[in-house]
Amino acid sequence: MNYKIENIKQLLVSKPLNLDCGLIIKDFPLAYETYGELNKEKNNAILIFHALTGDQFASGINPITKREGWWDTAVGANKAIDTKKYFVICANVLGGCMGSFGPKEINKKNKEPYGLNFPVITIKDMVKAQEALLDHFEIKKLLCALGGSMGGMQLLQFCASFPDRTFSAVPIACSSSHSAQNIALNELARQAIMADPNWNKGDYVKNDSSPKNGLAVARMAGHISYLSESGLQEKFGRKLQEKADYEFSFNADFQVESYLRHQGYSFVDRFDANSYLYITRAMDYFDLSKQYKEGLTEAFRDQKTKFLVISFSSDWLYPTKHSKDIVIALNASGANVAFSEIKTDKGHDSFLVNEPKFLMTIKNFIDSCYEAYKK
């Protein structure tokens, strides 16, 4: 990761946090960003949970990478999540690499980066850390909390752990536990990173190096899973990359190859390899039903939160069945829940792109919740 992380908002969390692995951390930084203004009644606050490779910069231009925020299609003035109307909070997760406490941070005990000495964290740990932001802003109850993919996992955990802290919730393209397929894909990515000689058992920062090739391959593998077969075929097919015929080499003959290489190697400049290991591990460990004797039904019992569960028809990473299982559990627990499957060929990444029906769905839901919450 080549970017310097400077001049960002950080909350120093002084309250001790008991991690699932048995360790305790305290006085650690949690980086965050806000959009819009919190009103006097403090009833217009929205918390957004980011996905695996996201960060706190959901909208506008990321001041560190100089790129567009990861959810700029949805968050901003006059957009689906209207920052002229709502106060939006987004934090970089625990274990991340954009200013929050993670493996590239310096260990005060030996003055060296944590590397693999960083504690293994879980989705539950991430969520418990972010509750400190609500206390910081003195927000007793959010208007809404949203998240897609890993952000959706955090959202489900948040609602289970803190059932009274949000009026409404929108879990998007996610699951209550990782499937064997998704664990396998994450393991493939981790092995690619660890097989890179520059990884150096996680101590690459001390050597001023980075396992760029391994991280790029990990990103390529992940990126394929975020798209759909029909979407890839329509966009690329078997089109060649600026040539009339095969080169008969292992260069990027096809446009899709060139696209993947670009996605992989542009990613290594903004993300830390060890963070990728830790965050994917947290996703694999996530199993909300395992935390409760009676499974998901108990996890959502006595929920007063209003839910809208969203899936995408072409998402094979977190197919609609996963979302329907969440809906069934919410119904069984007596929760107020609605469900929407968005028809699209854009795959898992549909929530990150300009998908009009999806954006209109979340806008209508949040706006209606705000009118109900104000009464």
Per residue in 29-62, pLDDT (tens digit) is 999 999 999 999 999 999 999 999 999 999 999 9
Tokens representing 131 are 């509750």
Report the C-alpha gap between 44 and 88 in whole angstroms: 8
Tell me, which fold does domain 183-279 have in CATH?
Answer: Rna Polymerase Sigma Factor; Chain: A (1.10.1740)
Q: Mark whether 322 is an active-site residue.
A: no
pTM: 0.95
Angle (CA) 147-149-154 rounded to 5° is 55
Task: Output the CA torsion sign for 238, 240, 245, 247.
Answer: negative
Q: Mark whether 149 is an active-site residue.
A: yes
Q: Give percent of the chain with pLDDT exceeding 70.
A: 99
What CATH homologous superfamily does 9-179+288-374 map to? Alpha/Beta hydrolase fold, catalytic domain (3.40.50.1820)
Other CB atoms within a 10 A radius of the CB of residue 74 amount to: 24
Looking from the CA of 30 toward its CB, the CA atoms found within 13 Å total: 25
Average pLDDT of 186-198? 97
Q: Mark whether 348 is an active-site residue.
A: yes
Average pLDDT of 132-139? 97
Domains 9-179+288-374 and 183-279 share a fold: no
Catalytic residue among 315, 322, 323, 349: 315
- Enumerate the domain spans of the chain: 9-179+288-374, 183-279
CB proximity list for 191: less than 8 A, separation 6 or greater: none
The answer to whether residues 44 and 115 touch, using CB atoms and an 8 Å cutoff, is no
The answer to whether residues 310 and 179 touch, using CB atoms and an 8 Å cutoff, is no
Task: Output the CA torsion sign for 114, 119, 123, 125.
Answer: negative
Q: How far is CA 219 from the centre of its chain?
A: 15
For residue 244, the model assigns a pLDDT of 78
What's the pLDDT tens digit per position in 170-186? 999 999 999 999 999 99
Catalytic residue among 59, 100, 149, 175: 149
Cα R_g (the chain), whole angstroms: 20
